[in-house]
Each structure stands twice: as structure tokens, then as C-alpha cells.
Amino acid sequence: MQHSSRSSRLLTAGTAAAVSVLLLTSCTSSKRHTAPTPTRTSSSTAATSAPSSPASPTATPSPASIAFSDCSSQFQTAIGGSRAKKMTFSCGKLSVPLDYAKPAGNTIQLFVLKVHPKAQRQRIGSLLVNPGGPGGSGVNLAAGLVNALSDDVFNHFDLVGFDPRGVGLSQPLQCIPDREKDRLAAADPDVRTAAGQAQARAASQAVARACVAKYGSGLGQYNTEETARDMDLIRQAVGDSKLNYLGFSYGTRLGAAYAHQFPTHVRAEVLDGALDPVTSELAQDEQQTKAFEQAFDQFAADCMARPACAVLGNPRAVVTSMIAAADRQPIHSSRDGETRVATGGIVTIGVLSALYDQSDWTSLGNALISAEHGDAAGLFTLADTYLERDEDTGHYSNIMDANLAVNCNDSRLKVTDALVAGEARQWIAKYPIFGRNAAASLYSCY
């Protein structure tokens, strides 16, 4: 599936606990984070994000270079473990054109992390990684992979992660204030109705206007095609003649866009959870919604087989009922200082968040049992992890902002009220837990 990514902000968090979330990022999705109802997939197709012919070599400035500096102590402390102590971590920034059609114009800086063993043998080159999103941090993914990849990989490759343009530490887009993100996450409009459509439209338009007012015409350059060009400059800057790449979910679309533009620059690509480049945006949205429903059924079967979780009863009936009830009367949380209440939107996101990894199923079961007894603290924890919201400060990463910008710049879907209402009726009938959220997300680029 595509996130969003659940990567934590390693450089600002600076704790091993923060890094523990990073490995989950490798299963992130790229569902467009919608204004009214954020989810984790990208519904654009690879074809819409790539040019009709490979890019001309003259379109990318050369040579590219990165002045790396040692940042080992910070990352070793944050990651922990004996493996990290054997690694050298180097941090640097790469200047790239904001608009590759104007290579001498404005530039932006990308944050790049390079990791390799202090005693590396048989080096072949670098392995560039991307976790998905769009909006996931490749820096965090690289840090999280330090304890996951084999010695054999590290003996042959430097691990390179970068925050894509507009993401994390690469001049992040910041369109939506934290309080507004809280409101958008809680929203649960029923877009089968005129009132629900108006609510979803208004929320999406308010976010878009704020973003355009802040960034102007340059906002259009935050897209998959330009990010793929950035990757080629990174390849040059780390001294590789050809690219080695590992991408998950939306990262597979990014890898495909790179291969399309620079077919002679690829040594090897691994595209995990690949998006079908010829499937329509609506079909991709429906496929992901169906997959979430199927994943929920797997959780439900596991829950009913475990005595501690089976006390919940029928998980599907419980969640369906809970979403509707929470929209009428939101659920309070026992967490100290928590002022939010959990609407149906929060219940949906909390459940969805736990379906990316079976290790989260116990937490989901416990959260649902607690919510049945009037305490939404567990659901908020799951939702906040998915949305990259710090529970202590209430501050979000910019994954919603970047996800919206990239997906909307890539999208070619023409959204109308009639189209959304029609899909909503079908999807809610077929996918009773996630269909409503998915249908509302169609308005994100309205």
C-alpha cells in the first residue's frame, strides 16, 4: 500500500524510540492525503507523472556535488545497537533547480544521508531508497534500514536516503497549520449527500488556496517527474555511473519515472508493492480500499482467535457501528491534556493505520476494546502515528502537505460532484469500513 508514511522525524526526535517506527515506513502507501479525510495512497498513475520521452541530458545541470559532513554520533545515538556503531553516517545538502525547464533559475536544497560500514569490502556503488508517500522521508527510511539490511548489502553498497523536494528536511512545504490538520483528520463527510460534498469541497479548497497563496506558481514543481530528475543529480553527486534503487509503494512510481527519463542510467531497481502504471486513478483508489477491507478481515479473524481480543465480539460489526456512533457522539480520551475527541474519521484512520503491519494488530484490538468502554486514547495513538503527529506537542510533520502537493500535481482526474457521489454509493456498499473515507478523498485535488 502507499502513506503515508509513518516515518518519525529522526533528526528532531533524536531517540531510538523515534527510529523504531521507521521500519514501518517501508510499507507506506501513497494514497493522497486528502484535505477532509487523509489516507495513505497515491491514486495517480505512473504514466501521468512521466514525460512522453526520456529527458535530454542537457536538461539536468552538471556536475552535481554534495559537501558531506560526518553526523555519525547523532544517528548512532538515535538508532542504537551494535550495527550502527560500525557505520559511518554522512549528511549533506544538494542544490537542485526548482524548475528543470529553467536550470539557471531558483534552486532548492535536498537533505541527503549516506551510510556505509567503516570497513566496507567489495563496494559496487550506492543504494538509493524511498519509502513511499508521496511525502515519506528517505532519510528516516535509510536510518531505519541500518539494522534491517544484511551485511552482504552493506559490503557492496553505501545506503543513501534523501528527503524528496518539499519533504522533511528538504525545504518542506508547510501549507496547513497543526490545528487545521486536527480538524481535517476528524472530518468524516458523507459525500453521497449535498451537505457532505459541500463540506469536503470547502475543506479541500481552503487548503489549496492557502498553499498557492504561500508558494505561488513554484508549487507546481513539486511532482514526481521533477523528483525523479533530482534522483539523477543525487546519483551524480555520490559518484555513481548508474543508479541502484529500492522503492516501496509510491516509491515504485518514482522509480518507474526515473527509469523512463533516464533508461541508460539504471543498473538495478527493486520496486516493492509496485503500482500498476496503466490502471486508472479511480481503479487504483478502489483497489486500495478493497485491500484495506481484506486486511481488516485478516485482523478480525486473528482477533477472534485470541481470547484477549475475542471479548470485542465481531470486529467488523463493532468498527462499523463505532464509526457511525462516534460521528454522532465523539469518544473522549483518557490521555492527560488531550482536548480532542475521536470522531468517525479518527476511528477510521486509527483502524487503517494498524493494518499495514501485523505487529500492530494487538494494539488495534486493545484500542477498540478501550473505545468500546469510552476511551479513545489507543485510537488516537494509532491515528497520530499514521498522520505523523507528535502526541506530546500536537505538532505534525509535513507529510500531509507534501502528499497533497505531489499527488495533485501528478493527478489528471477530473472530479465532479456526480462522479464522487456515484463512486461513494458503490464503494460504501462494497467496502463498508473504508469506502466512505476513500470516496471523500476524491475531493482532495478538486
| Residue at grid coordinates 542510467 | 265
CA distances from 437 to 32, 77, 252, 420 (A): 12, 39, 24, 12
CB of 386 within 8 A of CB of 135? no
pLDDT value at position 88?
A: 97
pLDDT value at position 51?
A: 35
Distance between CA 203 and CA 197 in Å, rounded?
A: 10
Which residue in 388, 376, 335 sits closest to 18, CA to CA?
A: 388
For the chain, the straight-line distance linking the first and the last C-alpha, in angstroms and rounded, comes to: 23
Which residue in 431, 311, 416 sits closest to 369, CA to CA?
A: 311
- Supply the pTM of this predicted model: 0.84
Print pLDDT tens along the chain (446 aa): 334 333 322 222 222 222 222 222 333 433 333 323 333 333 333 333 333 344 444 454 557 899 999 999 999 999 999 999 999 999 999 999 999 999 999 999 999 999 999 988 899 999 999 999 999 999 999 999 999 999 999 999 999 999 999 999 999 999 999 999 999 999 999 999 999 999 999 999 999 999 999 999 999 999 999 999 999 999 999 999 999 999 999 999 999 999 999 999 999 999 998 888 788 999 999 999 999 999 999 999 999 999 999 999 999 999 999 999 999 999 999 999 999 999 999 999 999 999 999 999 999 999 999 999 999 999 999 999 999 999 999 999 999 999 999 999 999 999 999 999 999 999 999 999 999 999 999 999 98
Q: Read out DSSP for 148-208? A: TS-HHHHHHEEEEEEPPTTSTTSS----S-HHHHHHHHH----TTSHHHHHHHHHHHHHHH
CB of 74 within 8 A of CB of 58? no
Distance between CA 239 and CA 261 in Å, rounded?
A: 19
Q: Read out DSSP for 272-316? A: ETPPPTTS-HHHHHHHHHHHHHHHHHHHHHHHHHSHHHHTT--HH
Which residue in 211, 256, 219, 236 sits closest to 98, CA to CA?
A: 219
Kindly report the number of other CB atoms within 10 A of residue 213's CB atom: 10
Which residue in 46, 8, 22, 19 sits closest to 249, CA to CA?
A: 46
CB of 40 within 8 A of CB of 27? no
Residue 322 burial by Cβ neighbours in a 10 Å radius (0-12, 13-18, 19+): buried
β-partners of residue 48 are: none
| Residue at grid coordinates 525547464 | 101
Distance between CA 35 and CA 201 in Å, rounded?
A: 9
Give SS3 for 245: strand
Report the chain's C-alpha Rg in angstroms: 21
| Residue at grid coordinates 553526523 | 71
- 184: cell is 481535517
CB of 219 within 8 A of CB of 421? no
pLDDT value at position 276?
A: 80
CB of 435 within 8 A of CB of 424? yes
**Amino acid at position 342, single letter:** A
pLDDT value at position 64?
A: 84
pLDDT value at position 279?
A: 86
* Residues 402, 404, 405, 410, Cα dihedral to 10°: 120
DSSP 159: E
